[in-house]
Structure 1
Amino acid sequence: MQVKQFQPDSAQLRSLEDKPQPLAAEFLGTLLLVFFAVGAAVLAGEYIGTLGIALAFGFTLLALAYSIGPISGAHVNPAVTLGMLLARRIDLEMAVKYWIAQIVGGIAGAALLFLVAKQVPGLQTSETFGSNGFGDRSALHINAAGAFIAELVLTFLLVYVVLAVTHKVAVVGFDGLPIGIALATIHLIGIPVTGTSVNPARSIGPAIFAGGAALTQLWMFIVAPLVGGALAAVVHSITHPQPNTQPAKEPDVG
């Protein structure tokens, strides 16, 4: 039996912009990504290791791609939304609404995770709490320049894959599979480097509750992913045709 996937056309996407569902989906999706994936690092990192944390991020995003992808696109990441904006798949007004929903969702997810973590005797949350960092806050003690380049390149891969496997805003069919695999792979590389952000909303929430150096270094994990996302959109426009933004060429009947 073939399951029909919902893929909204341009008119349907425009109609969704006036409804609360996409924003609610982005809020909820980012909340769940932070709670479960960052939670894997905070609550279970000692037991599951780097591989387990990476898989938690990848599997959570994969699940979200299938559950809210047809509603909002399952961006759950301001860098992905920026890529979509530069690829002209959403307009600026909708992008700003997505960014707000994602950041608020990330903070809410971190708040719920913080509430759970505080019930665990002896669990350290101050200046750690799944936040990102460089220098002495990096397992490899990478410097700021190296952290910036790493976050830029890692985010580039994520946003490039999202743009390459999707044709509109929505995630449908098997689109979610390469996106989830990409995020898991990114974390396998990035966790010892910076803890892996590639997502400003994912970084902002935990940093607020970690405090200290997590907040003073937060700028890196906002700026670098956004630059990586923008670069991915530019490169994607060169390597891939853009049927969603360019009119179809009239057939030559002469």
Structure 2
Amino acid sequence: MIGTFWLVLGGCGTAVFAAVQVATADTGDVPVGVGYLGVSLAFGLTVLTGVYALGHLSGGHFNPAVTIGAAIAGRLPWSKAPVYIVSQVLGGLVAGALILVVASGKAGFEATGHMAANGYGSNSPDGYGLLSALIIEVVLTAIFIWVILGATDRRAPAGFAPLAIGLTLTLIHLISIPITNTSVNPARSTAVAFFNGDGAVGQLWLFWVAPILGALIAGALYGPLFGERVKIASAPGDRV
């Protein structure tokens, strides 16, 4: 819950407060916001720091798709998944509410359409349609889960998983912010959709279905594609 709160506050908070700003100069308004790059880094940094801080306690999921992918891959008992998912959604909603409260302190702020919600069609930052949104969210979520499973595999170098995960999420945002505002995380999408309005709630289904589908694909294929191959060598018990 704390990790997802941090993810939404850091990522969506950056998008709401700092993505687009202007400073008045002698020559007119000059953009000084962090833009897509800054928002991408914000999401990556929150996951990186959150996993280092909390990964040893809970696995550092912060995302229902990660929980489902881990369960499919045999990394997490299915009995624990509902508690993880409910906690993630609640943590995200608390962060979304906090962003709204803080943003409302600025004169002229209008929450409708300005809460970093995900969307397609008219709600896509660059006008991408439903099919494009579905494809990119499924593919990027699957890749994200593969990276997480690979970085936390017992064969991987110890201690570097948060770096790989955070940098991957940064790259994912660089790719897909123009398409859907980047979800790959149903809890992140839910966290701001209800505060954003402007059709975001009606499109929220896609940002549950697509990431979960991507997680199912990644979790089911990780073992067959990347799992250890064990055979009996010269002596019983030798692993190759």
Preserved contact between residue 32 and residue 109 of structure 1 (Cα < 8 Å): yes
- Cα offset, 1:234, TM superposition: 2.1
* Structure 1 position 157, deviation (Å): 1.4
Q: Offset at 1:251?
A: 6.2
Query: 1:237 Cα shift?
Result: 1.5
Query: Does the alignment pair 1:28 with 2:28?
Result: no
Deviations 1:20-56 (A, max 9, x none): xxxxxxx000011101111000110111000000000
**Deviations 1:203-225, CA, capped at 9 Å, x for gaps:** 00100111240100000111101
Task: Tell which structure's C-alpha radius of gyration is larger.
Answer: 2
Question: Of 145, 158, 168, which aligns to 1:159?
Answer: 145
TM-score w.r.t. the length of structure 2 is 0.88
- Give the residue type in structure 1 aligned to 2:150: A
- Matching residue of 1:196: 182
The residue number in structure 2 matching 1:180 is 166
- Shift in CA distance, 191/76, structure 1 to aligned 2, threshold 3 Å: same
CA RMSD for the aligned pairs?
1.8
Partner Cα separation in structure 2 for residue 122 and residue 253 of structure 1: 74
Deviation of 1:61 (Å)? 0.5
Aligned equivalents of 2:150, 2:221: Cα separation in 1? 11
Return the offset for 1:172.
5.6
- The answer (yes or no) to whether the contact 1:61–1:180 under 8 Å persists in 2 is yes
Q: How many residues in Structure 1 have an aligned counterpart in Structure 2?
A: 222
With normalisation by structure 1, the TM-score equals 0.83
Which 5+ residue runs of structure 1 have no aligned equivalent? 1-26
Residue 38, structure 1, aligned to residue 24, structure 2: no
Stretches (4+) displaced over 2 A: 248-254
- What is residue 223 of structure 2 aligned with on the other side? 237
User: Match of 2:27?
Assistant: none
SS in 2 for 1:68: helix
Which of 163, 188, 191 lines up with 1:205 in the alignment?
191
Q: Distance in 1 between matches of 2:160 and 2:211?
A: 25
Q: How high is the sequence identity, in percent, across the aligned residues?
A: 40
Distance 1:242 1:212 in 2: 48
